[in-house]
Structure 1
Amino acid sequence: MSEAPGEQIHTASAGGTSDGGSVLGGYRAIDLTDERGHLAGAIWAQMGADVIAIEPPEGSSARRLGPFAGDVPDQERSLHHWSYNRGKRSVVLDLGNAADIERLKALIAGADVVFESFDPGEAEALGLGRDALAELNPALIHVSITPFGSDGPKANWAVSDLALQASAVNMAITGDKDRSPLRAGGTLPQAMHNAASEGAGAALIALWDRQTRSGLGQHVDMSAQQSMSQACMSSTLNTSLNASVTKRIAGGASLQGIDIQLMWPCADGHASVTFLFGPGFSAFTRNLMAWVHEEGFCDEATRDKDWAEYAMMLLDGREPVSEYERIKGILTDFFATKTKADLLDAAMTRRVLITPVWSTGEVCDSEQLAFRQYWEDVDHSDVVSDAAAGSFDPAAVRYPGAFAKFSETPLASLGRPPRLGEHTDEVLAELDAASAARTPTVPVSVRDVADAASITAPPLEGVKILDFMWAMAGPAASRVLADYGADIIRVESANKLDAVRSIQPFHNDVGDPDGAGLFSNLNAGKRGLALDMSKPEALEVIWDLIDWADVILESFSPKAMAGWGMGWEQVHQRRPDVVMASSCLMGQTGPLAKLAGFGTMAAAISGFFYPVGWPDRAPAGPFAAYTDYTSPRWLVAAVMGALEHKRQTGRGQYVDMSQAEAALHLMAPALLERTTNGRIWESAGNRDFVFAPQGAYQTAAGGPSGDDFDDNWIAISCVNEGQWAALAGAMGRSDLASLNAAERHARHDELDQVISAWTRGRDGYELMAELQAAGVASHIVQNSPEFTIDPQIVHRQHLVEVGHAKQGTTTVENSRFVLSRTPASVTYGGPTLGEHSFEVLTETLAYDGDRIAELAVAELLE
């Protein structure tokens, strides 16, 4: 039986819900992932899809990852498995058994999507490769989530989260400059989660193509290295743009020899402070320095420095770096007198860019999250009895909730994760019942498409997006939509220049807003319209663009659009079919809704800074604006989900996207550790709960980054006994080869010294090749110079040279995933200010010469 698009097929189990009003109600996903990819299916489950998790008889390896609820090691108590498998149905199939392979193929034949995290070549060996699945189900969207992508020279490398982050630039610029670089997430893996969350949105882009034009599925090739490389604020591009290489300092960055500090100690902990300069930051910095002066910590001359020009003054020598260091000292003294609560209050009342660095305990106690009813209390009592629970209440296990708020189709409130094989009989009975035979939910109108041109057209061609996004998180999301064909008009104003136009890297280190590599990278493929939004006449132009658009994206502070008379209520009344999404730090409601700022602040207040660092030092935090890098994946999924709902119903809806709430899912096991076991996830350098030894170890001077001995490193992880034995053998320490995991954890300090003595003086590239040949998870820690020539990055064509109106050509990053039939098209960089204003006014809005002259006379065009 073939269901109509959007018609419900199955109600999600294990306490989950999925009704006909959900975003993806009626769609089925087969989840063949483990801990490397299970977040993708979790996102689809929350959006209402029927997600069937296929597990081997011994259960997914995720079930064996600690910590465990109540500290009882048990496959039904893994907090990693709990975090990412609610709302799924668990089916046990033995993929070494021919009959079970046939059962799996039958399930795939009726599925809309398959998510898998097989090692490259593993699926082919099982008869489940991309070509076989495409033949079995031509409508299938097949998502492969792998460390380096499905092909290329590193596709089959031994890998760990640490090694992946080492390959992706973000690790090179994270941590204290006098110690080894650190991975984001602390002991909580991040790279594959970033890839999996991006894979969920990529699948929805492929679904849109299938449902609106082609009727066909395709393969989605997801690379975690490329996905994780977003977490460095385009520092991947420095070498290509002939810009200075970014170097790390704890809680900030070192640029052209200037240590930019973005985190300070305070009276009872630490705080993220965006003390930056340029047109996008100067107003906030003036407010901060006025407060500092008010309390007697600086003189008027310090307070009144030219904060808009200050960055350029430092770079060209008009302001000595010693003076900047003096001001940082003033701020150190000032913040020492303030508590985290004082600073958060000031952020709300004084319009300064400050948030406290919160632990998972403080995150769980957040009044903002409680106000927005973010947490979901889930009943596990039918799996864990009260008597066996220990420290937690099994009837009310607290989880992160909806990653966004949808006005028409609220995300499902999911129940507990399934027991191993809980739904095997149920699902196989459905499979055997002729009356329940299922085919993918492809609309009749596109099932027999014969026009090859329509099949290969960009998936989002014809989708029109009005983009008011600012800084990084929002533009990074709309950039993905531009890559796959959406027509995006980005509205800017010179009166409030986008902050990322004043952030490095710049072409040749020249601080030109039109030469900012970060802006160009985030806005490649978009058309730029510059309007003075402070003038009422400009709003008439915006209303005409709203009438044109299918989607409106904005990341202003809450109520800004409403203040212009363009809030959701007004827009929806005029355009009931339009999708509108608002993205800000904390969401549109709640006591912290008006908290303005950047991803550094959201990362700090969401718990991401606290566990990244060394046990004997202050938190280092992930590099800069971490939630700016992670939340765009969730926004892509949200927008595509809302478009899919519009396709089915003709109705638009509003999406309230809190950057913090979406990002918290990447912290889920640590949050569950707090809510079930009462413990806070602490910093541990690069060590891991499971793997030992693991760390970043110095190598010899030289290589593309230069001759700085102190900053050449290799990341090494021993993920199993065999890898440790191989490493011990390579080091000539066969006397250590028999150490088991517990012994290696206990002797980690000693083993670190042994490994460091062996790697020091060795060439990093040669050492990496030797370790990979031995099957040991390892990778040199790459900064921009190494990344630029990485054979895998070159093979995947990740860095592409494109046209640019002012620079002639520039380099931007390619799409971080590959659609096999409708790949991304990246042809030009981000627009110069107002580059396409005339084109938009004449061609898109069909204004005549008189109308444009009126706008010019009113000084609306910039």
Structure 2
Amino acid sequence: MSGETNTDVQGVLADYRVIDLTDERGHLAGLIWAQMGADVIAIEPPEGSSARRLGPFAGDVEDPERSLHHWSYNRGKRSVVLDLRTSEGVDRAKALIAGADVVFESFDSGEAENLGLGRDVLAELNPALIHVSITAFGSDGPKANWTHSDLALQASAVNMAITGDADRAPLRAGGTLPQAFHNAASEGAGAALIAMWDRQTRSGLGQHIDTSAQRSMSQASMSSTLNASVNATVTQRIAGGASLQGIDIQLMWPCADGHASVTFLFGPGFRAFTENLMAWVHEEGFCDEATRDKNWTEYAMMLLDGREPVSEYERVKGILTDFFATKTKAELLDAAMTRRVLITPVWNTGEVVDSHQLAFREYWEDVDHSDVVSDAGAGSFDPAAIRYPGAFAKFTETPLAKLGRAPRLGEHTDEVLVDLDAAQRLPAVPAAVAPVAHTSPPLEGVKVLDFMWAMAGPAASRVLADYGADIIRVESANKLDAIRSIQPFHDDVGDPDGSALFSNLNAGKRGLALDMSKPEAMEVIWDLIDWADVILESFSPKAMTGWGMGWEQVRERRPDMVMASSCLMGQTGPLALLAGFGTMAAAISGFFYPVGWPDRAPAGPFAAYTDYTSPRWLVAAIMGALEHKRQTGRGQYVDMSQAEAALHLMGPALLERTTNGRIWEAGGNRDLVFAPQGAYQTAAGGPAGDDFDDNWIAISCVDDRQWSALAAAIGRDDMASLSTSERHARHDELDEIISAWTRGRDGYELMAELQAAGIAAHIVQNSPEFTVDPQIVHRQFLTAVDHAKQGTTTVENTRFVMSRTPASVTYGGPTLGEHSFEVLTETLAYDGDRIAELAIAELLE
């Protein structure tokens, strides 16, 4: 990539020290900071982190030094053993924390306080400390102390209610690979960088950051949390798609050798792609001209208002089913590149590892474990070259570090403690920044020019807006953002200014309507570039260069600019020009294949999964680039691939392939460790209404004690002594027993009973239940804001909470061109004549 000069080989965060007090619920946060160059010290108990006991294991040898889960998320860290159950261990930890810049921890509620490491203690010990708590439901509220599991958290967050086959239990994203805490941990990593910006530029002080896995995971519902609030039909699940307003939207099809993700959608943002697809279908004789030439711009509205019968849509889907059955995954991927249709294959982990795109971009990192693993055990892998996911983004000035293996337990205890005894380290606060405990937004004064569209990019810039950045979002009526045509709509009315999804992802931004297809618009854009600190764009590669606004042109004029591009596969490589959405990136990155039932086709996570996960990584990338600019005065370019960032959430599954040679298969709601675990049907009731039969409760027995408690609750004391291995072996039998017990019970009452017994359980919530969830209400996650068209609307609030510089969310996403006059007159200081010239040239539309 051009511009990769003047690199900082130490990494942009090389000055910072992180104390990692997490386990498998938070260790991804430290990995992100380690990739960016920070010194990350993982404090482990004498028996090692619980992550070391999670399978699968390299060579199938069950050994804490061979856990693929631990390997995936602890590379580049230093391991220090401290027994926090002793006063000596706590004192050592405090001494390390006193000189640290950041602490990540995932303690259960009250645990840190009992250890003497509570929030107030750490703040007094180190006022500059950025302290990130990665929690299940949040640090306070009626569910702060609830027993949890990944399944229970996903059940609480809406995404599970809309994932899976309509005639079976709902499914969690990730299959047997946990996801909820990974989403919260990646959220926490970016949040810590926002707090660091405040500390290093203005306050000199740290603060506490409270993340919630429930809130982070709810982003995977694509704003279906809001349906009840905006009087929209509740989203229902179907495998490989969604049921919206009674219409089954199909987004995945079987093909000759597997399955493919196909974005067969309608409206201005999708019309050209759908026309290309139907032209191909007609060309090969599968449909007539009338079918090919349907009004794909208005088709969604025609279905909703009855002009097009749903039966006709079903007929068209049948045509596509016949057509795709004749094509292989390779043929469909080739067509996506040559015919510009929105299709990607559903790849398994083996196909992901063999990806020619990832090979071209030199994504994989081979790591030497030969000094830890002297033989392969039952496997045939090479311990000296174990392949891992690599850099989550490409930076021109501060490329991410290629990390070594995860540390052996206590490998660095002596060196770290000797250094500690020799001299007390101080947090890396600039001497010129005097401590000032202000409460204004941490990104106040940061100016962002936002060309993002769809979901992944806008979700990232929405975080920046929440914390004070001034964001001008550029769009055009001639190429409407695709999500203006996607549910949920206020009152189910398909108005581009009434999409709650668009409003949610773009809350707090200013909207400028500008037709960028006209050369005259470039003068306005360059004026905005001169105004901005950051440029964000998610056009197809080469688009910005084609307009004369590529990184090279921008850097020549503004060498201090931070510019980030976000797209499916990255800016380079054979698939760089693959156009599409997160559904497609999730399919080709391996997320669809393991979500489903062993006896059925993949169901996939709900819709565009990588659109929901990648924004957190993009926030971290942007803030890292801004930190580099603060240190050096230089800008840089960030090439962000949704797929490459998201693959870290599949780390153990990918290592299972590269190390043990196995594909990660679907397993319903089963877990590799816990048993029994599943979603079980309950009686009707609750906010959904007495006649609604899609009521489920997620139950996980995470240890022997929880299983004994559940066995007692269901009246099966005779089974209470079953070991974990016995429970796994008899899982089908246990599922039948538990299902018979839950089926006649009220879900809310059952959830309360199981939580009182200390069992991880939660009802599977859709929007009506989520809206009245006491935890969501207590933490004000759904918030009413002003909106130019609706008067008021509801959006999701910030997903993490900063103690001293809280977020501000006051208005919903802009209507088309809502702030055009304000931007032109106040921000760019154009006079009336200049604005009239733009209007006459038809640029302001």
TM-score range, shorter chain: over 0.9
* CA drift at 1:447: 3.1
Letter in 2 for 1:786: E
Q: Does 2:325 match 1:342?
A: no
Matches within 5 A, 1:662-811: 662-811=645-794
**Residues 421/562 of structure 1: CA separation in 2 closer, same or farther (3 Å cut):** same
CA contact (8 A) 1:584 1:657 kept: yes
CA contact (8 A) 1:19 1:25 kept: no
* CA drift at 1:21: 4.4
Q: Does 2:429 match 1:446?
A: no
Matches within 5 A, 1:557-572: 557-572=540-555
Distance in 2 separating the partners of 1:605 and 1:358: 5
* CA drift at 1:706: 2.5
Matches within 5 A, 1:196-207: 196-207=185-196
Distance in 1 separating the partners of 2:433 and 2:113: 29
| SS across alignment from 1:456 | coil
Cross-structure match for 2:24: 35
Distance in 1 separating the partners of 2:208 and 2:257: 50
Letter in 2 for 1:276: L
RMSD: 0.9
Letter in 2 for 1:596: A
Within the candidate set 135, 140, 144, 2:124 is matched to 135
Cross-structure match for 1:592: 575
* CA drift at 1:66: 0.3
Letter in 2 for 1:329: G
Cross-structure match for 1:12: none
Within the candidate set 529, 535, 544, 1:552 is matched to 535
Letter in 2 for 1:674: R
Cross-structure match for 2:627: 644
Distance in 2 separating the partners of 1:702 and 1:201: 39
Cross-structure match for 1:458: 441
Cross-structure match for 2:12: 23
TM-superposition CA deviations, 1:282-322 (whole Å, max 9, x none)? 11000000000000000000000000100011011111000
TM-superposition CA deviations, 1:75-131 (whole Å, max 9, x none)? 000000000000000000000111111111010000000000000110011111110
Cross-structure match for 2:513: 530
Distance in 1 separating the partners of 2:688 and 2:543: 44
* CA drift at 1:20: 6.1
Letter in 1 for 2:766: N
Q: Does 2:498 match 1:511?
A: no
Matches within 5 A, 1:127-276: 127-276=116-265
* CA drift at 1:391: 1.7
CA contact (8 A) 1:19 1:48 kept: no
Letter in 1 for 2:485: S
* CA drift at 1:425: 0.0
Letter in 1 for 2:626: L
Cross-structure match for 1:632: 615
Letter in 1 for 2:233: S
Distance in 2 separating the partners of 1:537 and 1:484: 33
Cross-structure match for 1:579: 562
CA contact (8 A) 2:59 2:376 kept: no
Distance in 2 separating the partners of 1:755 and 1:98: 44
Cross-structure match for 1:828: 811
Letter in 1 for 2:330: A
Cross-structure match for 1:495: 478
CA contact (8 A) 1:717 1:778 kept: yes
CA contact (8 A) 1:30 1:115 kept: yes
The runs of 5 or more residues in structure 1 that have no matched partner are 1-17
CA contact (8 A) 1:379 1:396 kept: yes
* CA drift at 1:388: 4.4
Runs of 4+ residues over 2 Å off in structure 1: 18-21, 386-390, 706-710
Distance in 2 separating the partners of 1:440 and 1:634: 25
| SS across alignment from 1:345 | helix
Q: Does 2:842 match 1:859?
A: yes
| SS across alignment from 2:167 | coil
| SS across alignment from 2:604 | coil
CA contact (8 A) 2:8 2:399 kept: no
Cross-structure match for 1:332: 321
Cross-structure match for 1:395: 384
| SS across alignment from 2:536 | strand
Distance in 2 separating the partners of 1:684 and 1:631: 25
CA contact (8 A) 2:449 2:532 kept: yes
CA contact (8 A) 2:376 2:382 kept: no
Distance in 1 separating the partners of 2:760 and 2:205: 37
- Of 99-108 and 82-91, more deviation after overlay is shown by 99-108
Distance in 2 separating the partners of 1:85 and 1:745: 28
Distance in 1 separating the partners of 2:279 and 2:82: 65
| SS across alignment from 1:182 | coil
CA contact (8 A) 1:700 1:709 kept: no
* CA drift at 1:700: 0.3
Aligned residue pairs total 839
| SS across alignment from 1:739 | coil
Letter in 2 for 1:212: T
CA contact (8 A) 1:459 1:484 kept: yes
Cross-structure match for 1:87: 76
Distance in 2 separating the partners of 1:409 and 1:144: 28
* CA drift at 1:741: 0.4
Distance in 2 separating the partners of 1:209 and 1:705: 43
CA contact (8 A) 2:793 2:812 kept: yes
Within the candidate set 338, 341, 344, 1:355 is matched to 344
Distance in 1 separating the partners of 2:281 and 2:690: 41
CA contact (8 A) 2:60 2:377 kept: no
Distance in 1 separating the partners of 2:270 and 2:639: 25
Cross-structure match for 2:595: 612
Distance in 2 separating the partners of 1:309 and 1:694: 44
Distance in 1 separating the partners of 2:287 and 2:749: 53
* CA drift at 1:704: 1.1
CA contact (8 A) 1:376 1:400 kept: yes
CA contact (8 A) 2:8 2:397 kept: no
* CA drift at 1:707: 3.4
Cross-structure match for 1:283: 272
TM-score, normalisation: structure 1: 0.97
CA contact (8 A) 1:555 1:584 kept: yes
CA contact (8 A) 2:610 2:646 kept: yes
Cross-structure match for 1:13: none
| SS across alignment from 1:809 | strand
Letter in 2 for 1:242: N
Letter in 1 for 2:426: T
| SS across alignment from 2:249 | strand
CA contact (8 A) 2:486 2:501 kept: yes
The runs of 5 or more residues in structure 2 that have no matched partner are 1-6
Distance in 2 separating the partners of 1:631 and 1:858: 38
Distance in 1 separating the partners of 2:374 and 2:110: 42
Distance in 1 separating the partners of 2:661 and 2:691: 43
* CA drift at 1:390: 3.5
CA contact (8 A) 2:60 2:378 kept: no
Cross-structure match for 1:430: 419
TM-superposition CA deviations, 1:819-845 (whole Å, max 9, x none)? 000010000000000000000000000
Letter in 2 for 1:392: F
* CA drift at 1:662: 0.1
